[in-house]
Amino acid sequence: MLRLLLIEDEEPALDQLRRFALRYNPAATIVGECQQVSEVADFLRQHPAPDLILSDIELLDGNVFQLFGQVAVSSPIIFITAYDSFLVQAFEQNGIAYVLKPVQYAQFAAAMQKFERLRQSFQGAALQQLAATLGGAASVAAPAYKQRLVSKTRQGLYLLDVAGLHYFQLRNGVTHAFDAQGKSFVLNESLSQLEAQLDPAQFFRLNRTEMVQLGAIERLEPYFNDTLVVHLKSAGVALTASTHRTPELRRWVGLK
């Protein structure tokens, strides 16, 4: 019996995923359907690992890659998304196939066939050993956060040490990283991706368009509607936390 977990925040896409899964394997059991990262984390904490996860990437409460910093994930994943920019990250995080929307059944079936081939090749003791290795490592090892980012320019590639970046800002739909001198670097990653890739003890999402490093903060200033202005050590830079993020910001920096 094949046990599937479906992760998709759009009802029509979820319905299609459900139909395609049962068309491919009528005996399959859908053990859960989740629309948010938080729901997936709760499900995996409370239930045995499914045989396979079918997952969208951008969900209602963020990017599914945030999941790997919250809970042990030992199941293989077929990612199904409208974006082609997550391919490398997907295969770094349990991905075995990557299907682009709009999904055709032939594409879906090909991904499922790949899963079946992999599953058959790890039958018996080999499969048990793999599951024990993945599950054990995931449960005891700390999440591996990125220490370096790459900025592509006409002059070449800049290798950016994450520890030297003071903040990130979305400008005209493009993510920029800023160092201590105020120099900006264009990144391919979205803020949601960076939120999942960087150490949450060091980097905090202030609002929809900005993220800050703890070590770059000089002082916090109370502002309108009980929000906070974050003044950085970079001269003249001040960022404002959104209303709904301010309580979490207070906890993050150790304020009551």
Q: What is the pLDDT of residues 87-127, one digit of tens each?
A: 888 888 888 999 999 999 999 999 999 898 887 766 544 54
Domain with 116 in it: what CATH number? 3.40.50.2300
H-run or E-run covering 225 = none
Structural domain ending residue among the three candidates 119, 140, 161: 140
- Cα separation, 231 vs 239, in Å, equals 7
In terms of domains, do 167 and 92 share one?
A: no
* 75 Cβ contact partners less than 8 Å away, ≥ 6 residues apart: 5, 49, 50, 51, 52, 53, 94
Total tally of structural domains belonging to the chain: 2
The answer on 159 and 121 residing in a single domain is no
Domain-ending residue, one of 140, 166, 200: 140
User: Do 158 and 189 have their domain in common?
Assistant: yes
Query: Is 33:6 a contact under the CB 8 Å cutoff?
Result: yes
Q: Are residues 86 and 42 in the same domain?
A: yes
Kindly list the averaged pLDDT for each block of 10 residues, start to end, along the chain of length 256: 93 95 93 94 92 94 89 92 86 89 93 87 54 53 75 87 94 92 92 88 92 93 89 89 90 79
Tell me, yes or no, whether 8 and 129 share the same domain.
yes
Q: Where are the alpha helices (DSSP H) in 25-123?
A: 37-46, 87-92, 105-121
Rounded to whole angstroms, how far apart are CA atoms 113 and 239? 49
Same domain, 31 and 85: yes
Q: Residues 165, 235: one domain?
A: yes
Predicted structure pTM score: 0.51
Domain match, 111 and 130 both: yes
Q: Which of 123, 140, 157 is the last residue of a domain?
A: 140
Same domain, 14 and 130: yes
| 167 and 215 in a common domain | yes
> Can you give the residue range of the structural domain that contains 170?
148-252
Whether residue 191 sits in one domain with residue 128: no
Q: 219 and 103: one domain?
A: no
Instruction: Give the per-residue pLDDT at 184.
Output: 93
User: Considering the chain, what percentage of its residues have pLDDT values greater than 90?
Assistant: 57
Whichever domain contains 156, its CATH number is 2.40.50.40
